[in-house]
């Protein structure tokens, strides 16, 4: 079986790991996937039933990852990894991708979806200022 690819956006925060946790909290508030309201993503990832749920299907969202790694870390999952500067400049030569540039790069293949059980993120800009974060990934199933 192959994973399902997905995209999402969230508000900008300078601390990308904090923005990731915020995006997870917002996703859980919208849909706890039957695992009980009020639990954090960190709590869910300690639950073997949640791990099985994610690794055999997933949510198609930032909830599919227990943590964010550093951009320079090896690409093994299931983790969310920010793009490196070189990866950003490969699809946005100015280094400050807009939402439209990000969408277009995903659509035309200049920006790849990662392998199964992996995710990516990058800061998105409006008029040269950071305004959002683009998240994308592939479920583990």
How confident is the model at residue 2, as a pLDDT? Answer: 66
Please, which pLDDT band fits residue 118 given cuts at 50, 70 and 90? very high
Interval 69-86 mean pLDDT: 91
Instruction: Give the 3-state secondary structure of the chain.
Output: CCCCEEEEEEECCCCHHHHHHHHHHHHHHHCCCCCCCCCCHHHHHCCHHHHHHHHCCCCCCHHHCCCECCCCCCCCCCCEEECCHHHHHHHCCCCCCCHHHHHHHHHHCCCCCCCCCEEEEEEEEECCEEEEEEEEEECCC
Q: pLDDT for 20-75, tens place per residue?
A: 999 999 999 999 999 978 899 999 999 999 999 999 999 999 999 999 999 999 87
How confident is the model at residue 141, as a pLDDT? Answer: 82
pTM for this model (two decimals): 0.94
Per-residue pLDDT at 76 exceeds 80: no
How confident is the model at residue 22, as a pLDDT? Answer: 97
The whole-angstrom distance between residue 136's C-alpha and the CA centroid of its chain comes to: 5
Average pLDDT, the chain: 94
How confident is the model at residue 36, as a pLDDT? Answer: 79
Per-residue pLDDT at 91 exceeds 70: yes
Angle CA(26)–CA(28)–CA(33) in degrees, nearest 5?
150
Tokens coding 95: 């280094």
How confident is the model at residue 6, as a pLDDT? Answer: 97
| % residues pLDDT > 90 (the chain) | 90
Angstrom distance (rounded) from CA 4 to CA 20: 20
Pairing of strands 80-82, 118-126: parallel
């Amino acid at each position: 079986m192959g994973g399902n690819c997905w995209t999402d956006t969230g508000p900008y925060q300078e601390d990308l790991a904090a923005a990731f946790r915020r995006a997870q909290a917002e996703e859980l508030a919208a849909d706890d996937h039957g695992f009980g309201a009020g639990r954090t993503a960190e709590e869910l990832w300690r639950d073997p039933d949640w791990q099985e749920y994610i690794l055999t299907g997933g949510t198609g969202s930032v909830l599919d990852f227990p943590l964010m790694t550093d951009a320079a870390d090896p690409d093994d999952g299931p983790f969310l990894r920010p793009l490196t500067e070189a990866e950003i400049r490969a699809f946005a030569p100015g280094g400050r991708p807009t939402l439209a540039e990000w969408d277009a790069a995903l659509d035309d293949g200049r920006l790849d979806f990662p392998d199964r059980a992996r995710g990516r993120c990058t800061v998105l800009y409006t008029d040269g200022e950071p305004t959002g974060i683009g998240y994308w990934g592939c479920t583990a199933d």
